[in-house]
Amino acid sequence: MTGVLASQHIEKLIETGALTGAPAVLEDQIQPASLDLRLGAMAYRVRASFLAGEGASVEDRLAEFEMHRIDLSQGAVLEKGAVYVVPLMEHLDLPEGLTAVANAKSSTGRLDLLTRLITDNGTEFDRIPAGYHGPLYAEICPRSFSVLVRPGMRLNQIRFRDGQAVLDDATLRRLHDTETLVDGPAVIDDGLGFSVDLKPHEGTLVGYRAKPHTGVIDLDNIGGYNPRDYWEELHSDNGQLILDPGAFYILVSREAVHIPPQYAAEMAPYLAMVGEFRVHYAGFFDPGFGHAQAGGAGARGVLEVRCHEAPFVLEHGQIVGRLVYERMAEIPRALYGADLASNYQGQGLKLSKHFRMAP
C-alpha cells in the first residue's frame, strides 16, 4: 500500500485508533487524500514562532513563550501580526512506516493566514515522522487580516504517506505524455513548473492586493464580504506587475493543471534566485483536481504571493512555483470536484469563499 493514503485508508486509521479526536473525528473532515484538522477551545498568544525541538513538548515551550490565553468557545479575534498556538482536537498514534505532512487549506492561504502544524519533539513545521504518538497544534499568524475564529474551525489539513510516493522527473514526463498534466509545454524540474498569468484573455484584471487597514473577517461568514473593502484590483495591459515589499497578492497560474485520480500533488516553492518574492504554497491538490470538467482539461491554480526585500517586476509567463506529484496508495472513493462539492474546482482568478463573487 505504498503511496498517499486515500479517504478509505484514513477511515481505517480512525477505526484502529491511529487517528483519534476529542470530540470524535467527523465524516466530513475526510477529504479524498487528506483530513481537515479542527481548532480546539483555547488559543495561546506567544512571543514568537517556535518549534518544540528534540526532547521537548509543545506544552513545555508554551510555558516559556506564552503571553496570555484566549478562550475561543464564544468566538475570539486573532489579531493581524500576532502569533498564536492552538491545540487541535485530533491526536495521532502512527504506526511505524507511516509519515504525515500538513498544509494550510485553500481558503486559509487566500486570506494570508499563515497556519503551520507543530508537534512534540518537532524540528520542522508541517512534517510528522513515522511512529509519532502525541498531540497536534496549529501555529497561526494572521498576516493581512484579523480573523474571528471558533472551536472546530478547520484551517489546515493533514495527508498521510506510506513509503516513497513522490514521482521523479522521468516518471512525471511519462505521466504528462499520457495524461496531459498542463495545457501547454510541461516544464519539469524537481516537479512540474507553473507560471503566472498577467495577460488575461479578457479584460485587464490580473489579480488583487490586500488592503493594509481592514475590518475583521469572521471565518464562518461565507460570501458575506465585499471584496472592495479588503482588496485592491490590479490591472495590467503590458504583461507586467510590480510587487511591493510586504504586500500580499492573489494571482493565477497561466497553466490549467490536471491531477489524475490516481495521483495527488503539493505546491512547493521555486528557486529563490528567480526573484525576491515567495508563492505561499498553501494547499494540497487532491486527486481529481481539474479532472472532472472538460474531460480532464485542467483548472488553473490560484497563487498567493508575497514580495520581500525590494520591489520586483513580475512578468507574464514567469515560472513562480512547482507541483510535486505523488502516487496514491489507491484511488479515493470520492474525487475532488466530482463526487465532493468544492469552492475552487474549475477556478480561475478567485478570492477566498468569504468574499462575494462580483466586487
- 137 with 198, same domain: the answer is no
User: Percentage of the chain surpassing pLDDT 70?
Assistant: 90
Within-domain flag for 76: yes
Radius of gyration of the chain (CA): 20
Is the pLDDT at 212 greater than 50, yes or no? yes
Closest by alpha carbon to 2, among 190, 132, 160? 160
- 95 with 177, same domain: the answer is no
Domain that holds residue 81: 3-162
C-alpha cell at 31: 477529504
Q: Please give the DSSP secondary-structure letter assigned to residue 339.
A: T
- 158 with 9, same domain: the answer is yes
Within-domain flag for 347: no
Asked if residue 235 lies in contact with residue 204, where contact means CB atoms within 8 angstroms, the answer is: yes
Res 191: pLDDT: 92
> Cα separation of 115 and 294, whole Å?
33
3-state secondary structure 114-174: EEEEEECCCCCCCEECCCCEEEEEEEEEECCCCEEECCCCCCEEEEEEECCCECCHHHHHH
Distances (CA, A) of 97 to 92, 128, 161, 163, 277: 14, 11, 9, 7, 36
- Tell me the pLDDT of the chain averaged across its residues: 90
The 319-327 sheet, strands edge to edge = 192-195, 319-327, 263-269, 284-285
Asked if residue 39 lies in contact with residue 138, where contact means CB atoms within 8 angstroms, the answer is: yes
User: Percentage of the chain surpassing pLDDT 90?
Assistant: 75
Give the distance from CA 51 to its chain's centroid. Answer: 20
- 60 with 37, same domain: the answer is yes
C-alpha cell at 279: 508563492
Mean pLDDT of 78-91: 98
Res 185: pLDDT: 87
- 281 with 214, same domain: the answer is yes
- 190 with 310, same domain: the answer is yes
- 177 with 150, same domain: the answer is no
- 155 with 241, same domain: the answer is no
Res 297: pLDDT: 63
- For 110-133, the pLDDT digits (tens) are 999 999 999 999 999 999 999 999
Least confident of 194-208, 231-245, 271-285, 297-311: 271-285
> Cα separation of 158 and 177, whole Å?
30
Closest by alpha carbon to 174, among 255, 254, 260? 260
Within-domain flag for 151: yes
> Cα separation of 84 and 71, whole Å?
12
**Neighbouring residues of 315: CB distance < 8 A, sequence distance ≥ 6:** 196, 198, 239, 240
- For 141-160, the pLDDT digits (tens) are 999 999 999 999 999 999 99
Within-domain flag for 154: yes
- 140 with 198, same domain: the answer is no
Would you state the torsion angle of the CA atoms of residues 46, 50, 54, 56, taken in this order, to the nearest 10 degrees? Answer: 0
Split into its structural domains, the chain has a count of 2
Res 344: pLDDT: 47
Within-domain flag for 277: yes
Within-domain flag for 345: no
C-alpha cell at 184: 501547454
> Cα separation of 195 and 317, whole Å?
5
If pLDDT is split at 50, 70 and 90, which confidence band does 359 have? very low
Asked if residue 147 lies in contact with residue 34, where contact means CB atoms within 8 angstroms, the answer is: no
Residue 79 sits in a domain of what CATH number? 2.70.40.10
- 180 with 236, same domain: the answer is yes
Which of 162, 178, 193 terminates a domain? The answer is 162
Is the pLDDT at 273 greater than 90, yes or no? no
Q: Tell me the whole-structure pTM to 2 decimals.
A: 0.92
- 140 with 233, same domain: the answer is no
- For 280-329, the pLDDT digits (tens) are 655 789 998 887 654 456 788 889 998 887 898 999 999 888 899 999 99
Res 283: pLDDT: 75
Give the distance from CA 297 to its chain's centroid. Answer: 23
Concatenating the DSSP letter of every residue in 246-299 gives T-EEEEEEEEEE---TTEEEEEEE--GGG-SEEE----EE-TTTTTSSTTT--E
**Coil, helix or strand at residue 310:** coil
Within-domain flag for 348: no
Mean pLDDT of 257-280: 75
> Cα separation of 11 and 284, whole Å?
19
Which of 132, 162, 192 terminates a domain? The answer is 162
> Cα separation of 227 and 319, whole Å?
27
If pLDDT is split at 50, 70 and 90, which confidence band does 270 have? low
Within-domain flag for 333: no
Is the pLDDT at 272 greater than 70, yes or no? no
Least confident of 26-40, 60-74, 269-283: 269-283
Is the pLDDT at 342 greater than 70, yes or no? no
Mean pLDDT of 163-184: 93
Which of 105, 130, 162 terminates a domain? The answer is 162
- 11 with 148, same domain: the answer is yes
